[in-house]
């Protein structure tokens, strides 16, 4: 049921902007605005999953060491949550995305073929997207207390991947529009990269006990690779422990305290 539900969500979320552009007469600017707003909604629902998972499991991975310094004074160590770090990063880069998109669509509108943003079409598309996101959220809730921290961390990394993909799509799309004279390339780039990110985020994390042979052949210092790989596994194992006042160690520290 979970896999079918998430597959339905994946297909539905990616169908909305395509249907809007090709059958609903959406402008490219409307579709790109939809991507940004959709990503903001995804970040919100991932944050809710993080909150519920932390309250249900109290896993150590939900707590992150924080260092603060006032006026250049000595560093003070504290503890914050993974959710706070996730939201801080997502919001900072999301606001940057919005500024970039506004400038590009404003200055280079004729070159990139953006058009105007239709508020009516955008609100309709987001309403449909919200329905799919709620379905996915409801599917995840019943067993959330039995899921590992790695599951919710993968959700968060997928959401951040979407945020970073927007930057990549902006630069590739602008290059195609300005240099290659393909005015509708930005929407195509957005759709392709977003679809790739969504599909990748639905795969289970590939995490063998030893580095794969192909990776070992690419590096000269295999001993260091082995050490760093084991440190990463140790960190992930700590993430699944019950929090008792100490967050998981950074990977670099874990590798030196073996």
pLDDT tens figures, 18-53: 888 788 888 777 888 888 888 899 999 999 999 999
Q: Is 81 helix (H, G, I), strand (E, B) or coil?
A: strand
Shared domain for 103 and 222, answered yes or no, is no
DSSP state of 80: E
Q: How many domains does the chain have?
A: 2
Which among 13, 4, 34 is positioned nearest to 131, based on CA atoms? 13
Report residue 178's pLDDT band, with 50, 70 and 90 as the boundaries.
low
Report residue 168's pLDDT band, with 50, 70 and 90 as the boundaries.
confident
Q: 139's torsion region: left (phi>0), alpha (psi -120 to 50) or beta?
A: alpha
In this prediction, residues 190-206 reach a mean pLDDT of 71
What's the pLDDT score for residue 153? Answer: 92
What's the pLDDT score for residue 251? Answer: 53
Report residue 250's pLDDT band, with 50, 70 and 90 as the boundaries.
low
Shared domain for 52 and 179, answered yes or no, is yes
What's the pLDDT score for residue 252? Answer: 45
C-alpha–C-alpha distance, residues 1 and 198, integer Å: 19
Shared domain for 228 and 132, answered yes or no, is no
More confident residue, 123 or 70: 123
Q: Is the pLDDT of residue 258 over 50?
A: no
Report residue 115's pLDDT band, with 50, 70 and 90 as the boundaries.
low
Q: 75's torsion region: left (phi>0), alpha (psi -120 to 50) or beta?
A: beta
The count of other CB atoms within 10 Å of the CB of residue 212 is: 11
Shared domain for 155 and 119, answered yes or no, is yes
Torsion of CA 158, 37, 16, 201, to 10 degrees: 0
What's the pLDDT score for residue 257? Answer: 45
Sign of CA dihedral 161, 164, 168, 174: positive
91 domain residue, yes or no = yes
Shared domain for 102 and 222, answered yes or no, is no
- Tell me the chain's radius of gyration from C-alpha atoms: 21
DSSP state of 66: E
42 and 155 in contact (C-beta within 8 Å)?
Answer: no
Shared domain for 81 and 196, answered yes or no, is yes
139 domain residue, yes or no = yes
Domain that holds residue 245: 213-256
Q: Is the pLDDT of residue 77 over 90?
A: no
Shared domain for 120 and 174, answered yes or no, is yes
Angle between helix axes 185-201 and 149-178 (nearest 10 degrees) is 160
Tell me the residue ranges of DSSP E strands in the chain: 63-68, 76-81
């Amino acid at each position: 049921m979970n896999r079918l539900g998430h597959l339905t969500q994946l297909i539905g979320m990616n169908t909305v902007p395509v249907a809007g552009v090709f059958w609903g007469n959406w402008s490219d600017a409307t579709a790109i605005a939809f991507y940004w707003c959709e990503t903001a909604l995804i970040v919100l629902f991932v944050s809710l999953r993080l909150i519920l998972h932390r309250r249900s499991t109290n896993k150590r991975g939900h707590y992150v060491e924080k260092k603060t310094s006032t006026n250049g004074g000595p560093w003070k160590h504290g503890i914050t949550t993974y959710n706070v770090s996730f939201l801080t990063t997502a919001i900072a880069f999301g606001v940057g995305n919005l500024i970039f998109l506004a400038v590009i669509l404003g200055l280079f509108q004729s070159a990139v073929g953006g058009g105007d943003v239709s508020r009516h079409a955008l609100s309709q598309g987001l309403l449909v997207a919200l329905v799919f996101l709620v379905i996915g959220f409801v599917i995840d809730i019943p067993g959330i207390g039995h899921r590992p921290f790695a599951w919710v961390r993968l959700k968060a990394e997928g959401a951040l991947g979407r945020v970073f993909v927007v930057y990549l799509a902006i630069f590739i799309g602008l290059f195609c529009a300005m240099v290659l004279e393909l005015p509708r390339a930005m929407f195509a780039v957005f759709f392709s990269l977003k679809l790739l990110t969504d599909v990748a985020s639905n795969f289970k994390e590939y995490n063998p006990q030893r580095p794969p042979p192909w990776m070992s052949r690419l590096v000269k210092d295999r001993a260091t690779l082995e050490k760093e790989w084991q440190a990463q596994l140790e960190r992930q194992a700590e993430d699944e422990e019950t929090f008792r006042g100490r967050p998981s160690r950074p990977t670099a520290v874990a590798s030196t305290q073996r």
